[in-house]
Amino acid sequence: MEIRTHKYARLAYPLVEAIEGADIESKYRTLALTFPTMIMQSGLAQAIGFLMAKDEAHHHKLLAHLAILLGYRQSEAEDIEELKATVESSTVKILKQSIMNLSTDDFKQMMLNSKTDDLKNATKKVIERLSDDELTDFLLTLECDDLRLIILELDMINLYQDVLKSDVTQYQLLTRKALEASSWLKRYTQALLEKEGEKKGESND
Protein backbone atom coordinates (compact mmCIF):
# COMPACT_ATOMS: atom_id res chain seq x y z
CA MET A 1 0.00 0.00 0.00
CA GLU A 2 1.30 3.45 -0.94
CA ILE A 3 2.25 5.65 2.02
CA ARG A 4 0.08 8.75 2.21
CA THR A 5 2.93 11.25 1.96
CA HIS A 6 4.34 9.37 -1.05
CA LYS A 7 0.94 9.62 -2.74
CA TYR A 8 0.82 13.37 -2.11
CA ALA A 9 4.33 13.79 -3.51
CA ARG A 10 3.47 11.80 -6.63
CA LEU A 11 0.24 13.67 -7.31
CA ALA A 12 1.49 17.16 -6.47
CA TYR A 13 4.42 17.34 -8.88
CA PRO A 14 2.49 17.30 -12.19
CA LEU A 15 -0.12 19.67 -10.79
CA VAL A 16 2.47 22.31 -9.90
CA GLU A 17 4.50 21.65 -13.05
CA ALA A 18 1.42 22.46 -15.14
CA ILE A 19 1.36 25.98 -13.61
CA GLU A 20 4.78 26.85 -15.05
CA GLY A 21 4.44 29.64 -17.59
CA ALA A 22 0.74 30.20 -16.84
CA ASP A 23 -0.66 33.67 -16.20
CA ILE A 24 -1.30 32.77 -12.56
CA GLU A 25 2.20 31.40 -11.89
CA SER A 26 3.48 34.16 -9.58
CA LYS A 27 0.17 34.54 -7.70
CA TYR A 28 -0.20 30.79 -7.28
CA ARG A 29 3.39 30.67 -6.02
CA THR A 30 2.76 33.29 -3.34
CA LEU A 31 -0.44 31.56 -2.21
CA ALA A 32 1.00 28.03 -2.18
CA LEU A 33 4.00 29.14 -0.14
CA THR A 34 1.82 30.67 2.57
CA PHE A 35 -1.12 28.24 2.64
CA PRO A 36 0.32 25.68 5.14
CA THR A 37 0.93 28.54 7.57
CA MET A 38 -2.61 29.78 6.96
CA ILE A 39 -3.97 26.35 7.96
CA MET A 40 -1.91 26.34 11.16
CA GLN A 41 -2.79 29.90 12.16
CA SER A 42 -6.45 30.11 11.13
CA GLY A 43 -7.57 26.49 11.07
CA LEU A 44 -8.49 24.29 8.13
CA ALA A 45 -12.11 25.42 7.87
CA GLN A 46 -11.20 29.10 7.65
CA ALA A 47 -8.31 28.46 5.28
CA ILE A 48 -10.47 26.51 2.83
CA GLY A 49 -13.33 28.97 3.29
CA PHE A 50 -10.95 31.77 2.33
CA LEU A 51 -10.04 30.02 -0.93
CA MET A 52 -13.69 29.30 -1.75
CA ALA A 53 -14.72 32.91 -1.10
CA LYS A 54 -12.23 34.31 -3.59
CA ASP A 55 -13.21 34.66 -7.26
CA GLU A 56 -9.67 34.54 -8.60
CA ALA A 57 -8.06 31.82 -10.68
CA HIS A 58 -5.06 31.16 -8.41
CA HIS A 59 -7.26 30.62 -5.34
CA HIS A 60 -9.51 28.31 -7.34
CA LYS A 61 -6.52 26.38 -8.68
CA LEU A 62 -4.87 25.83 -5.30
CA LEU A 63 -8.13 24.59 -3.80
CA ALA A 64 -8.61 22.27 -6.77
CA HIS A 65 -5.09 20.88 -6.24
CA LEU A 66 -5.73 20.35 -2.54
CA ALA A 67 -9.00 18.54 -3.32
CA ILE A 68 -7.21 16.26 -5.78
CA LEU A 69 -4.46 15.38 -3.30
CA LEU A 70 -6.97 14.65 -0.54
CA GLY A 71 -8.94 12.31 -2.79
CA TYR A 72 -11.98 14.51 -3.41
CA ARG A 73 -12.47 13.63 -7.04
CA GLN A 74 -15.88 12.51 -8.20
CA SER A 75 -14.44 11.05 -11.37
CA GLU A 76 -11.12 10.44 -13.07
CA ALA A 77 -13.11 10.06 -16.27
CA GLU A 78 -11.95 11.34 -19.61
CA ASP A 79 -14.98 9.94 -21.41
CA ILE A 80 -18.06 12.14 -21.78
CA GLU A 81 -20.42 9.32 -20.84
CA GLU A 82 -18.59 8.73 -17.55
CA LEU A 83 -18.74 12.44 -16.78
CA LYS A 84 -22.47 12.46 -17.48
CA ALA A 85 -22.92 9.47 -15.19
CA THR A 86 -21.20 11.45 -12.42
CA VAL A 87 -23.62 14.34 -12.94
CA GLU A 88 -26.63 12.04 -12.89
CA SER A 89 -25.53 10.39 -9.64
CA SER A 90 -24.95 13.70 -7.80
CA THR A 91 -27.58 15.55 -5.80
CA VAL A 92 -29.18 18.48 -7.59
CA LYS A 93 -28.68 20.82 -4.64
CA ILE A 94 -24.92 20.28 -4.70
CA LEU A 95 -24.81 20.55 -8.50
CA LYS A 96 -26.54 23.91 -8.33
CA GLN A 97 -24.10 25.06 -5.67
CA SER A 98 -21.16 23.91 -7.77
CA ILE A 99 -22.36 26.01 -10.71
CA MET A 100 -22.95 29.02 -8.48
CA ASN A 101 -19.40 28.72 -7.12
CA LEU A 102 -17.61 28.56 -10.46
CA SER A 103 -15.18 31.42 -10.86
CA THR A 104 -16.11 34.25 -13.20
CA ASP A 105 -13.50 33.18 -15.76
CA ASP A 106 -14.55 29.54 -15.68
CA PHE A 107 -18.22 30.41 -15.96
CA LYS A 108 -17.50 32.72 -18.89
CA GLN A 109 -15.64 29.90 -20.58
CA MET A 110 -18.54 27.56 -19.99
CA MET A 111 -21.13 30.05 -21.21
CA LEU A 112 -19.74 30.69 -24.67
CA ASN A 113 -16.83 32.90 -23.56
CA SER A 114 -18.96 35.91 -22.70
CA LYS A 115 -16.86 39.10 -22.45
CA THR A 116 -19.00 40.61 -19.71
CA ASP A 117 -20.54 39.44 -16.45
CA ASP A 118 -24.05 39.98 -17.81
CA LEU A 119 -24.46 36.49 -19.25
CA LYS A 120 -22.97 34.90 -16.16
CA ASN A 121 -25.32 36.69 -13.79
CA ALA A 122 -28.40 36.16 -15.95
CA THR A 123 -27.66 32.48 -16.47
CA LYS A 124 -27.10 31.86 -12.76
CA LYS A 125 -30.50 33.37 -11.99
CA VAL A 126 -32.08 31.03 -14.53
CA ILE A 127 -30.24 28.00 -13.12
CA GLU A 128 -31.46 28.80 -9.60
CA ARG A 129 -35.05 28.49 -10.85
CA LEU A 130 -34.61 25.25 -12.79
CA SER A 131 -36.35 22.11 -11.59
CA ASP A 132 -34.26 19.05 -10.77
CA ASP A 133 -34.98 17.43 -14.14
CA GLU A 134 -34.42 20.66 -16.05
CA LEU A 135 -31.04 21.19 -14.41
CA THR A 136 -29.94 17.62 -15.15
CA ASP A 137 -31.02 18.01 -18.77
CA PHE A 138 -29.09 21.27 -19.02
CA LEU A 139 -25.90 19.74 -17.61
CA LEU A 140 -26.09 16.77 -19.95
CA THR A 141 -25.99 19.09 -22.96
CA LEU A 142 -22.61 20.52 -21.94
CA GLU A 143 -19.32 19.70 -23.59
CA CYS A 144 -16.78 17.43 -21.88
CA ASP A 145 -14.50 20.24 -20.63
CA ASP A 146 -17.42 22.18 -19.18
CA LEU A 147 -18.66 19.13 -17.26
CA ARG A 148 -15.17 18.71 -15.83
CA LEU A 149 -15.30 22.28 -14.49
CA ILE A 150 -18.56 21.59 -12.68
CA ILE A 151 -17.40 18.24 -11.32
CA LEU A 152 -14.17 19.79 -10.05
CA GLU A 153 -16.19 22.48 -8.30
CA LEU A 154 -18.37 19.75 -6.84
CA ASP A 155 -15.27 18.04 -5.46
CA MET A 156 -14.19 21.23 -3.69
CA ILE A 157 -17.64 21.75 -2.18
CA ASN A 158 -17.63 18.18 -0.87
CA LEU A 159 -14.23 18.75 0.74
CA TYR A 160 -15.42 21.94 2.46
CA GLN A 161 -18.63 20.30 3.69
CA ASP A 162 -16.69 17.37 5.15
CA VAL A 163 -14.47 19.81 7.03
CA LEU A 164 -17.45 21.73 8.41
CA LYS A 165 -19.40 18.67 9.57
CA SER A 166 -16.44 16.72 10.97
CA ASP A 167 -16.08 15.99 14.68
CA VAL A 168 -12.91 16.85 16.59
CA THR A 169 -11.08 13.64 15.68
CA GLN A 170 -12.04 13.83 12.01
CA TYR A 171 -11.14 17.52 11.87
CA GLN A 172 -7.70 16.86 13.31
CA LEU A 173 -7.09 14.08 10.76
CA LEU A 174 -8.27 16.26 7.86
CA THR A 175 -6.03 19.06 9.11
CA ARG A 176 -3.01 16.74 9.25
CA LYS A 177 -3.71 15.49 5.74
CA ALA A 178 -4.22 19.00 4.39
CA LEU A 179 -0.96 20.18 5.96
CA GLU A 180 0.94 17.26 4.42
CA ALA A 181 -0.69 17.78 1.02
CA SER A 182 -0.21 21.55 0.95
CA SER A 183 3.41 21.15 2.11
CA TRP A 184 4.14 19.07 -1.00
CA LEU A 185 2.52 21.71 -3.17
CA LYS A 186 4.72 24.27 -1.40
CA ARG A 187 7.91 22.23 -1.96
CA TYR A 188 7.31 21.81 -5.67
CA THR A 189 6.24 25.44 -5.97
CA GLN A 190 9.55 26.55 -4.50
CA ALA A 191 11.43 24.36 -6.94
CA LEU A 192 9.44 24.96 -10.12
CA LEU A 193 7.63 28.29 -10.11
CA GLU A 194 9.00 31.80 -10.49
CA LYS A 195 8.33 35.00 -8.67
CA GLU A 196 6.86 37.85 -10.70
CA GLY A 197 9.59 39.33 -12.89
CA GLU A 198 12.05 36.57 -12.09
CA LYS A 199 13.93 34.76 -14.84
CA LYS A 200 14.85 31.10 -14.91
CA GLY A 201 18.02 30.43 -12.93
CA GLU A 202 17.90 33.81 -11.14
CA SER A 203 15.97 32.89 -8.01
CA ASN A 204 16.58 35.00 -4.92
CA ASP A 205 15.02 32.52 -2.48
Q: What tens digit of pLDDT does each residue of 6-43 get? A: 999 999 999 999 999 989 999 999 999 999 999 999 99
Which pLDDT value is given to residue 45? 94
Q: What tens digit of pLDDT does each residue of 171-198 get? A: 999 999 999 999 999 999 999 998 766 6
CB 200 within 8 A of CB 194: yes
Using a cut of 0.85, tell me whether the model's pTM lies above it.
no
SS3 73: coil
Which pLDDT value is given to residue 115? 44
Which pLDDT value is given to residue 128? 67
Domain that holds residue 136: 80-157
Report the pLDDT averaged over residues 40-65: 89
11 Cβ contact partners less than 8 Å away, ≥ 6 residues apart? 68, 69
Report the sign of the C-alpha dihedral through residues 128, 130, 133, 136, in that order: negative
119 within a domain of the structure (yes/no): yes
Amino acid identity, residue 39?
I
Overall domain count for the chain: 2
Residues 88 and 151 placed together within one structural domain of the fold: yes
Nearest Cα neighbor of 185 from 34, 56, 75, 53 is 34
Residues 84 and 68 placed together within one structural domain of the fold: no
Q: What tens digit of pLDDT does each residue of 117-164 get? A: 555 566 666 666 667 677 677 676 666 666 666 767 777 778 888 898
Residues 69 and 86 placed together within one structural domain of the fold: no
